[in-house]
A and B are shown apart, each in its own frame.
Chain A
């Protein structure tokens, strides 16, 4: 890459917008935080760029993690979508799969349908399961279906036909007819959004995509205009849920793929940090104000899934396998009966924890940490918010009504302990419950609150080692910089492998590769440099979930895949059934345009010796212990210290417990060897 070029990553979160500017020539990162503006993310976006003080005409890549689509769905502010669907199936979007989330609740209510019934229109058409067109679309049928409605009166359209994954012809024909009638109204077509079988999940994904298309289109347009005004001459790149970036053009087509934009950036950043540090197995723990995101990386590989859910609605778009729990700094401690609970209710950014002094009165995890002095009461969180320990105390003392035998500090410790136990449960979910022993992993903690909990959390799970990267509050933005351009394509092809001609698989891969090339060419990106990752989803006939097998070639042998599946099944589930027939379900390709690796963590001072900036008494297991406090940027590489101690930096505090050992590795990561608690 040419000298004096820069990349910028901007990650918009609920409370703060993080930015990282990377100078490729100096190999130096500048990070900053500005408050987010939930009403208009593009303002914080531009403020963040201003804050790191860059000229955009020097910038090669602007990469963006956004929650615009996510928030629109979570807050129910998506657009009014109309649905065009197969005759007899307009209610699929409301029927769903019938499952319930609470086992004993007589008064449980189903999620409201994503499209109200009057906005569902049926057309006579049919594609068979094998892709044969049973009844072709005809223009009169479409017009008749829409005769009582003005197609431009909706914000967006979703076209969802049965078996369109097997043959998109009817959907495409209907989409084209609809486009003539609906003018500029954006249209999402299920076979283009996620050509996987299972109609409810595909329809839901497509409608969600349609619902956020208008808002995403407006937002990206605004950002692009501002970037253009400032002299940026390259495509704006948007992080998507599966851990790569795509152009803003593509993000407008597939906004549903940005639902995990921010968290995926964090996992990508964590992987890059771990790779540099020579660690293959990590569990990432990104703890923020309202929730904690956890993911597992094994042998350097990020785990993916297509079974996502947002606001309860299923999505079927490839995403990093992240599990979220409602436990964060703002999680509220409350009492039901005699039971003390932490979360899932959160004080959020406003009013926030009681100690913020913005009117919060419920005790939160952050209040507890402040009372234990783990959080610095004299300092200001990220320089933005003044803290009020007296309000934290009043809030926590409210619990004494129920627990008169506990003092304030005892209650505060209890709150932190329970939050830790809850997060540990989530880590078990991505590790133990999927057959991985967390003791074989390093805990990589980031987000504003992650470093404060890391050691205690590791102990809870028997994990021996913790890594806290530089700029732990900005890792999602940092992760943007290391993320390649990547697009994921899938085709459902339900076939018994033993009855399959190998040319059928090769054909599918050729088609998918053509789709990839077409997409990259549409962005004027060099499709000849693409690297392809191919895989198949396979299962035993009768199973409903599948295993994903990587394919090394574009013409895998079905017989060999069968054999491979038996052994993969043996590894994953401790048994295999060699005589049972194996069934192909999906064929997948990811096309990747690699980026040069960035040396993003080489900025800790390399000389000098560490000396504390002061001490403060911190409560550990009911004992008050004097802790030296170090500034992060005053800890040179190679530093080795015994706990207890505290490391402070902008936006984050790391707690090293008594009997823990701290080392600063050559990349500036804090490495904590976790001792007995």
Chain B
């Protein structure tokens, strides 16, 4: 064992990170596509000879880097004993450590003499990898073949010789192949730069010393991670959530479940109970689902430093193949990001029971892919406008959430386009861009507010498409905080706003000239009970116009004077009399509370008296608050079979809320079912 001083460890670690940064800079300079050099939709990393993640930069996107160890594993599984100098590997298989097919990963072994020391890795979003639509991503895909070329781990260079027939095969099946070749070459140059710089470091410090530093660095991250885990109370923590899904005229949300088991200094994450995969784009590989969990763990334990393999060592994952979180052929995986967002939320929700002080109210939970396209009357040319507007982040122990702000699952892109750029380039007028009043989740620390953005179509022909979520089931509040407003889109025509018939989803909805797309993004969830909020903060929100006086009075119990100050006396009185915004009911066990058709969703059966007290009807969306910070969501079914003052809860629900048979939970209304809602997929349930 080599003597290693801590200074050398830091210096070598810094230099390895510098390699990745130089790879990034090289990529930005040499890539062809705007997606890469402008939107920075790519990431680089360095792995060691055993396939362990060694270094990333502070700019590399978690969405790319965190799933990468699975990618490298898939490649090494195939080529383990057969990696030679001059070999280069390529893959994008969404089922085997990939994300979606557009993200293509290159793995480039770096040798010191005969010793395999590092792999340079580059994952980049290719603008097109073939498939049914230009750009390869379609919300309408029903099988992965429609999303482009699926590349298994292949040796694309064999000891320095390109496998030209395979390269030709790939590029022949992609649109604008010369750009794809350009991006491929750019990826290659980043790996060559890494090779050269790694060689310099090896020459300077010697192989043994470099490997020792890498080991040390991974070990200490691992031991820090284990220490964080050991500090958690042992046991299993549960969370379930939904992705919104429609089919055959039904609203049939997809269920995602996560059980997080803490034992000594290890965590096991089990996705069992999640819905079977669907013939739609919301499926992902285990790499993506697990990456979401790792991102959340990182956020809870140690949000500062870049990730290395040390964080993965204490973690294990289980997911049944053929479910939305561990997809198998032939389902599409284009909207893998929505799964990742949800597994981030699920992991955070489960951890919140053990570390409530680290938890924040939920975030908007979707990319809000917003598309307006048509013919620009000024030029006669087609245009496609694409925007991913963000909402608020959740409140937390120390502070309110922030309004219109990229959340943890966004990475560091700039999700708000300048109105001036939109108007210069598209036949659209930005009518308004405003922080949306009352859209926050309320609480001791409220969530951030969402955005109201209005886009007027100026040309005669246009269509509007949307892939969004959290449009029915809103971002949750924690520890009694309320939900943020859901993502809500509508179209204003002649002064009349019509909401989408399938909230959150639209495909090619025609827009007449001067029709306005009104986009309202979700607010962040609140933290703690609104009645505990510092009254002056409530008054400031009212003065700022972010909060209506009615809500200040009715929900926060804050009375204000004419001049906008807090009326202390009246506030005390109001708060003493403030009615709870929930109803206490007792838990009655049942075997299985979830039903559905292709998806599954939770049903809360309640006695008519409960429904009457809360003014509930069948299929209204409610939440139950138990002993843990995060609520459980489900839909109402009024049932005379239920005892008065009770709600039904299966084993999972009881475990998640830590509420046994007979214990009390609070029920709260989230969303009343409206006449225009599609029917919930109850009747044709396979699970009843």
Contact = CB atoms under 8 A, between A and B. Distances in A.
Given A104-B62, A197-B424, A413-B7, A574 B30 contact: yes
Contact of B434 (A91, A110, A339, A405): A91
What is the interface of chain A mostly: helix, strand, loop, or mixed? loop
Interface stretch (A40-48, A92-100, A297-305): A92-100
Interface stretch (B15-23, B112-120, B248-256): B15-23
Contacts of B405: 98, 100, 110
A621 to B, nearest CB: 12
Interface residues of A, number: 67
Given A406-B6, A418-B10, A109 B399 contact: yes
B636 interface: no
A651 B196 CA distance: 40
Interface string A431-459: 01111000000000000000000000000
Interface string A526-558: 000000000000001011110000000000000
A543 B6 contact: no
Interface string A111-146: 000001110000000001100000000000000000
A567 B390 CA distance: 38
A490 interface: no
B682 interface: no
A487 interface: no
Interface in B264-314: 295, 298-300, 303-304
A162 interface: yes
Nearest to A202: B420
Given A105-B299, A163-B423, A433 B7 contact: no
B542 to A, nearest CB: 11
A16 to B, nearest CB: 31
B206 to A, nearest CB: 16
Contact of A162 (B224, B358, B399, B420): B420
A401 B224 CA distance: 18
B403 interface: yes
A201 B416 CA distance: 12
B414 interface: yes
A417 interface: yes
B396 A107 contact: yes
Interface residues of B, number: 75
Interface string B116-131: 0000000000000000
A25 B533 CA distance: 71
A277 interface: no
Interface string A252-266: 000000000000000
A89 interface: yes
Contacts of A572: 29
B37 A573 contact: yes
Given A117-B545, A421-B11, A573-B30, A106 B419 contact: no
Contacts of A91: 433-435
B166 to A, nearest CB: 23
B424 A428 contact: no
Given A110-B403, A338-B6, A418 B11 contact: yes
Given A107-B399, A337-B224, A421-B15, A198 B421 contact: yes
Contacts of A432: 22, 25
A585 B669 CA distance: 51
Nearest to A462: B200
B32 interface: yes
A350 interface: no
Contacts of A162: 419-420
B122 to A, nearest CB: 16
A340 B189 CA distance: 33
Contact of B390 (A98, A116, A421): A98
A594 interface: no
Contacts of B224: 337
B434 A90 contact: yes
B434 A573 contact: no
Contacts of A349: none
Given A92-B433, A110-B403, A422 B14 contact: yes
A129 B420 contact: yes
A88 B29 contact: no
A406 B8 CA distance: 12
A95 B433 CA distance: 9
Contacts of A428: 18, 21-22
A360 to B, nearest CB: 22
A98 B431 CA distance: 19
A405 B410 CA distance: 43
Given A88-B431, A105-B303, A106-B348, A100 B34 contact: no
Contacts of B15: 421
B418 A200 contact: yes
A623 interface: no
B408 interface: yes
Interface in A54-112: 88-92, 94-110
A340 B7 contact: yes
Interface in B319-370: 348, 358-360
A200 B430 CA distance: 14
B360 A106 contact: yes
A339 B220 contact: yes
Interface string B22-57: 101100011010100110000000000000000000
A337 B419 contact: no
A199 B38 contact: no
A106 B415 contact: no
B61 interface: yes
Contacts of A326: none
Contacts of A163: 420, 423
A103 B61 contact: yes
B182 interface: yes
B415 A99 contact: yes
Contacts of A377: none
Interface of B: 5-7, 10-11, 14-15, 18, 21-22, 24-25, 29-30, 32, 34, 37-38, 58, 61-62, 182, 186, 189, 220, 224, 295, 298-300, 303-304, 348, 358-360, 390, 393-394, 396, 398-399, 402-408, 410-416, 418-421, 423-424, 430-435, 448, 451, 454, 543-546
Please give me the 7 A-B residue pairs with the lowest Cβ-Cβ distance, nearest first. Answer: A433-B25, A414-B7, A110-B402, A88-B432, A105-B303, A117-B544, A104-B303
17 contacts: A88-B433, A96-B416, A98-B406, A100-B405, A100-B406, A106-B299, A108-B393, A117-B544, A117-B545, A118-B544, A197-B424, A339-B6, A414-B6, A418-B14, A421-B15, A422-B14, A542-B34
Interface of A: 88-92, 94-110, 116-118, 128-129, 162-163, 165, 197-201, 337-341, 403, 405-406, 410, 413-414, 417-418, 421-422, 425, 428, 432-435, 494, 540, 542-545, 572-575, 577
Given A97-B416, A421-B10, 16 more contacts: A95-B416, A95-B451, A98-B414, A98-B415, A103-B62, A106-B359, A106-B396, A106-B408, A110-B403, A116-B544, A117-B545, A163-B423, A403-B6, A410-B5, A418-B10, A573-B30
